[in-house]
Amino acid sequence: MSNDQAFDPALLAKAETLTEALPYIQRYAGETFVIKYGGHAMGNAEAAHDFAEDIVLLKAVGINPIVVHGGGPQIGAMLKASGIESRFIDGLRVTDAETAKIAEMVLSGAINKEIVSWIGKAGGRAVGISGKDGRLVVAEKVRRTHINPDSNVEEEVDLGFVGEPADVDRRVIDTISKAGMIPVIAPIGVGEDGNTYNINADTMAGAIAIATGAARFFLLTDVEGVLDKNKQLMTDLTPSQIDALRADGTISGGMIPKLETCVDAVEGGVDAAVILDGRVPHAMLIEIFTKRGAGTLIRAE
């Protein structure tokens, strides 16, 4: 090739992208990333393929990804098909014994193994488990109260077999990761009473991020990130800023528990948590390996 022959600009752009990514690859080699995967992206074949490629790439460059997945819409569809009506309190599904069986079947069965197969198709090796395997997550029953509108008295609400992590034993995760494979975890735990508990996937992922000393905790959602009152993305937040935004009504609804989970994670030792739009192709790679980043990053004070 002569010296005056130009390279394809697209190839040069790819080379520049790799160069930009290099310091981040070096920085995060050997670190653990916990990724909560859910939302509408799970039902989109192209988005699922992109997600699997991203996870395989992370493993290939020396990062240890751990995937924790949800499946609320799929559980709801199966319950409806079974003639069981879904009821929610404070965003948590009231879970009787029959609902718990269906939730475990959908989460630990169909969804979990589908994600494992996506990662395998993308060239990776994944192992699908739930929090029950190796007593990874020991759960305790969630307690909630509400004000009775008739008596105006605070009463305890029984959510049934809905739990939250009481203890996380990381050994099964470490075993899978050290074997060169990727853990894919369904949000099901076992109680000290031997019962199976359905756990909110965000909450479970945050607890696993703390237990594994993750460098990053990613929440892939259906929104761009945390938006200000002008609907502009806020790229960096701290717990005190989040408290202020909640007080003035900037953040509300379903974003509140997600941010609470992120704050718990960073205050529990995770370097940073990130809320990302899982519908955007390769948003996680843009966040990790470029200067521009994507989504909203939360760090401790």
d(CA 272, CA 88): 30
Is 67-198 in CATH node 3.40.1160.10? yes
Average pLDDT for the chain: 88
- pLDDT higher than threshold 60 for residue 4: no
Q: Which residue ranges make up each domain of the chain?
A: 67-198
pLDDT band with cut points at 50, 70 and 90 for residue 80: confident
| CA–CA distance, 154 with 145 (Å, rounded to integer) | 6
- Strands 182-186 and 64-69, by their bridges, are parallel
Burial string for 45-70 (b: 16+ CB within 10 Å, else e) reads eebbebbbbbbbbbbeeebbbbbbbb
Give the pairing type, strands 188-191 and 137-141: parallel
Rounded to two decimals, the pTM is 0.89
Average pLDDT score over residue span 248-263: 89
